[in-house]
Amino acid sequence: MAGVSSPSWSAPRYKPRREGMGRLLERDNPVRRMDWILVLAALALSGIGSLLVWSATRSRVEINHGDPQYFLVRHLVNLAIGVGLCGAVVALGHHRLRTAVPFIYGLSILGVLAVLSPLGSTVNGAHSWIVLGGGFSMQPSEFCKISIVLICATILSARVDAGEMQRPNARSILQALGLAAVPMGIVLMMPDLGSTMVMVVIILGVLLASGASARWLGGLTLLGALGATAIVQLHVLKQYQIARFAAFADPSLDPAGVGYNTAQARIAIGSGGLMGKGLFHGTQTTGQFVPEQQTDFVFTVAGEELGFVGGMVIIGLLGVILWRACRIAREATDLYSTVLAAGVVTWFAFQGFENIGMTLGIMPVAGIPLPFVSYGGSSMFAIWIGIGLLQSVKMQRSMAG
Binding mask 187-226 for another protein (x = CB under 8 A): ------------------x--xxxx---------------
| Residue whose CB is less far from another protein, 228 or 315 | 315
Contact 298/374 with Cβ under 8 angstroms?
yes
- 126 to 165: interface string for another protein, x by CB under 8 A: -------------------------------x--xx-x--
- Separation of alpha carbons 104 and 154, rounded Å: 12
CB of 200 to another protein, least distance (A): 15
**For residues 5 and 8, which CB has a smaller minimum distance to another protein in the complex?**
8
> Does the protein bind another protein through residue 81 (CB under 8 A)?
no
Site membership for another protein, residue 319 (CB under 8 A): yes
Residue 92 touching another protein (CB under 8 A): no
37 or 131: CB nearest another protein: 37
346 binds another protein (CB under 8 A): yes
Phi-psi region of 5 (alpha: psi -120 to 50; beta: other; left: phi over 0): beta
Closest CA to 119 of 103, 142, 104, 138: 138
| Cis before 371? omega within 30 | no
Of residues 234 and 274, the one with the C-beta less far from another protein: 274
The shares of helix, strand and coil residues in the chain, as percent rounded to the nearest 5, are 70, 5, 30
Please, which residues have CB within 8 angstroms of residue 329's CB and are 6 or more apart in sequence? 209, 337, 338, 341, 342, 345, 393
End-to-end CA, the chain: 21
Interaction pattern, residues 289-308, with another protein; x per rule: CB under 8 A: x-------------xx--xx
Count residues near another protein (CB under 8 A). Answer: 67
353 scored as a contact of another protein (CB under 8 A)? yes
Cα–Cα distance, 210 to 153 (Å, whole number): 8
191 upstream amide cis, omega within 30 of 0:
yes
Q: Is 383 in the site for another protein (CB under 8 A)?
A: no
- Report d(CA 354, CA 368) in Å as an integer: 8
Under rule CB under 8 A, residue 169 binds another protein: no
| Binding of another protein by 362 (CB under 8 A) | yes
Would you count residue 96 as binding another protein (CB under 8 A)?
A: yes
Is position 254 an interface residue for another protein (rule: CB under 8 A)? no
d(CA 177, CA 203): 8
Closest CA to 34 of 330, 320, 400, 396: 396
Closest CA to 68 of 286, 283, 304: 286
Q: Minimum distance between the CB of residue 365 and another protein, rounded to whole angstroms?
A: 15
**d(Cα 347, Cα 329) in Å, to the nearest integer?**
13
Instruction: Tell whether residue 288 is a contact of another protein (CB under 8 A).
Output: yes
Query: Is residue 16 near another protein by the rule CB under 8 A?
Result: no
CB 242 within 8 A of CB 227: no
**In the 8-state DSSP scheme, what is residue 66?**
T
Tell me if 119 sits within 8 A of 125, measured CB to CB: no
Residue 55 touches another protein, criterion: CB under 8 A: no
Give the residue with the Cβ less far from another protein, 115 or 268.
Answer: 268
- Per-residue contact flags (x/-) with another protein for residues 256 to 285, judged by CB under 8 A: --------x-xxxxxxxxx--------xx-
Binding interface with another protein (CB under 8 A): 8, 59, 61, 95-96, 157, 160-161, 163, 166-167, 205, 208-211, 264, 266-274, 283-284, 286-289, 303-304, 307-308, 311-312, 315, 318-319, 322-323, 326, 329-330, 332-338, 342, 345-346, 349-350, 352-353, 356-357, 360-362, 399-400
